[in-house]
Chain A
Amino acid sequence: MPLILAALVLWAAGWTLNAVLANGPSCHTRPVRLAVPLIFGATLVVMWELVVRGAGVPAVILPPPSAIAERFAANLGLLWGDFTQTILKGAVAGYIIGNGAAFLTALLIDRSDWLRQGLLPLGNFMAALPIVGTAPILVMWFGFGWQSKAAVVVLMVYFPMLVNTVAGLAETSQMQRDLMKTYAASWSQTLWSLRLPAAQPFIFNGLKITSTLALIGAIVAEFFGSPTLGLGFRISTSIGQLDLAMVWAAIVTAALAGTAFYGVVALLENRATFWHASQRQR
């Protein structure tokens, strides 16, 4: 009971501190903008620890964060192996192939009006479908290795990327294209110096959306069959052993990988499209 009370007191203290910081005079400065969410997150984690210990929640239901951190630190090698198998091999390979194929298809579609009218509604439709469902089929075709995971990822990222790239290529105005025409620019010159730069914000939007989809695809595909390593494998087998701390450690790994993946893409976007309105004023 005292631990739970401590948790409540901590919550009140953290929230008051945040309220003071957020409504104070320096609320627009960078340190405060960083500190407020960090205090909030830290408060939640410490509360979790206190409540789990205070209420005596069994470790098979919810392990305390300290146990998760301990398990994470003790199994760094194992989790690194899972990380390379799922993220570096499955997700990244599929991400590159799928997005590359989608980009090339978008360029192809762009040359033919007929193809655009036929493929675009289909792409929009496919982008909303539960494509994860193809995972059992692809695992059956490509075996249990990382290749089948990459195949699932290719299918998952293809359509959102296609739709985004096609929308991006249509972004230039008639006036701008006419100007290129008066310069006697060829299709490839127009593409390279006008339309691709204009499409960049859309392309990066697609890359950001699909970075999350890629991880989901790679992990879910492992639930249908995998070699004896990989994040999805680790999660499903550790649940079988009721080793919840290990499950959480695997989820932490996936979360870190996902955030890092997204962060890299966002950083590239920041470098490449520094001129765009959404990137300026920061």
Chain B
Amino acid sequence: MTRIPPLLGVLAALIALWYAAVVPMNVQETLTQAQRAGAVVTPTEATARRDTSNLVLVASNLDHLGESWSLDRPRLPAPHQVVAELYISTIGEELTGRRGLVQSGSLSNRGLVYHALVTLNATFLGFLIGTGLGTLLAIGIVHSRTMDMSVMPWAIVSQTIPIVALAPMIIVVLYSVGIQGLLPKAVISAYLSFFPVVVGMVKGLRSPDAMQMDQMKTWSATSRDTLLKLRLPASTPYLFASLKIAIAASLVGAIVGELPVQKGGLGARMLAGSYYGQTAQIWAALLMAAGLAAVLVWGIGAIERRTLAKMGMSA
């Protein structure tokens, strides 16, 4: 519990810094509005203001900065504006919106909850495909020397390639062969979560030492028995370590996969926000994505602790 005060202190400092940064970031728009309301701002022409640096503008117009934290379309919304937007687009939209949960009985397609669920579906499907295939490939690599020597170097090289660059193409290609909806996004998620699992599981399946392998041999265990009773249990800690990386990567994959599709999801929401200058909407979607990532990684961590405790492996 001694870690709480420093953490809160740093968080408070960050939020204070955010509030402070809002003022110079939004000063141009703030001064324009103040001038329209009749105030006298120091460089009176808008063109002169545009060429002055933001900090100078802040210093010479200290009296007219009151609106900085409540602009309609700020370049940088203040934290409370983001939280308000998050509330309006989640709870507010579902409770009072025309298409919200209360009025229409289904989640509103203008609310963030709906978009978060779209993203989450793709994330989970991709995560399942990716970890499933990754585990199978790892089992193959551990059992066949040929596969190990042929595939493993490529698996490592593929880690150094910006795989996300493939995302738009995968979606367009799958679309043109008639596959659309959840699957294309899930394919990208699967692709991103696949390699951490392969690398982690190969390490894990090889983690039993020579003594343990010899013991299995003295019992004349088949390689199937060795896999099920020694290798797989021994690989559990490695599996969970890679699952945590894989689920975060899946979420990134799903979000990036939503950019070219524009049919709902947090990625689509961010892109729409950037098209229409709705910065608060982008930040709210970003916060939602951050929350999802935190919950997902925490969830895997909780399962990990329970499983390892039951297997008697907790540290």
**Interface on A for B, CB 8 Å cutoff?**
15, 18-19, 21-23, 27, 33, 36-37, 39-41, 60-62, 114-115, 117-119, 121-122, 125, 128-130, 132-134, 136-137, 139-141, 211-212, 215-216, 219-220, 223-225, 231-232, 235-236, 239, 242, 244, 247-248, 250-251, 254-255, 258-259, 261-263
Contacts and interface: CB of A to CB of B under 8 A. Distances in A.
B40 interface: no
19 contacts: A15-B146, A18-B149, A22-B146, A22-B148, A23-B145, A128-B248, A129-B293, A137-B274, A140-B274, A212-B159, A219-B165, A224-B271, A225-B274, A235-B165, A235-B168, A247-B169, A258-B161, A259-B160, A261-B160
A133 B248 CA distance: 13
A15 B289 CA distance: 44
Interface in B155-171: 157, 159-166, 168-169
A41 B3 CA distance: 50
A35 to B, nearest CB: 9
Nearest to A236: B168
Interface of B: 2-3, 6-11, 25, 75-76, 145-146, 148-154, 157, 159-166, 168-169, 172-173, 176-177, 244, 248, 251-252, 255-256, 259-260, 266-267, 270-271, 273-274, 277, 279, 282-283, 285-286, 289-290, 293-294, 297
Across the A-B interface, the 3 shortest Cβ-Cβ residue pairs = A136-B274, A118-B10, A118-B6
Given A33-B149, A36-B149, A262-B160, A133 B279 contact: no
Task: Pick the most buried of A117, A118, A133: most chain B CB atoms within 10 A of its CB.
Answer: A133
Contacts of A129: 248, 289-290, 293-294
A61 B173 contact: yes
Contact of A114 (B6, B150, B159): B6
B6 A128 contact: no
A242 B172 CA distance: 9
A23 B25 CA distance: 64
Contacts of A254: 161-162, 165
Given A128-B248, A130-B289, A61 B177 contact: yes
Contact of A128 (B11, B286, B297): B297
A254 B75 CA distance: 32
Contacts of B11: 118, 122
Nearest to A247: B169
Contacts of A125: 294
A154 B211 CA distance: 47
B175 to A, nearest CB: 10
A74 to B, nearest CB: 20
Given A114-B9, A122-B11, A239-B172, A259 B157 contact: yes
Task: Pick the most buried of B152, B161, B177, B274: most chain A CB atoms within 10 A of its CB.
Answer: B161
B155 to A, nearest CB: 10
Contacts of B294: 125, 128-129
Chain A contact residues: over half helix, strand or loop, or mixed? helix
B162 A40 contact: no
B174 to A, nearest CB: 9
Contacts of A61: 173, 176-177
A132 B249 CA distance: 11
B160 A37 contact: no
A133 B266 contact: yes
A236 B294 CA distance: 30
A126 to B, nearest CB: 9
Contacts of B255: 130, 132-133
A248 B168 CA distance: 12
A141 B165 contact: no
A41 B162 contact: no
Nearest to B25: A141
Contacts of A41: 154
B5 to A, nearest CB: 8
A19 B161 contact: no
Given A18-B150, A27-B149, A132-B252, A244 B169 contact: yes
A52 to B, nearest CB: 13
Contacts of A118: 6-11
A122 B259 CA distance: 28
Contacts of A121: 3, 7
A59 to B, nearest CB: 11
Contact of A134 (B251, B260, B286): B286
Task: Pick the most buried of B25, B157, B169, B294: most chain A CB atoms within 10 A of its CB.
Answer: B169
A60 B174 CA distance: 11
Given A133-B289, A141-B76, 11 more contacts: A18-B149, A22-B146, A37-B150, A40-B150, A40-B151, A114-B6, A130-B248, A140-B274, A212-B162, A235-B169, A236-B168
Contacts of A141: 25, 75-76
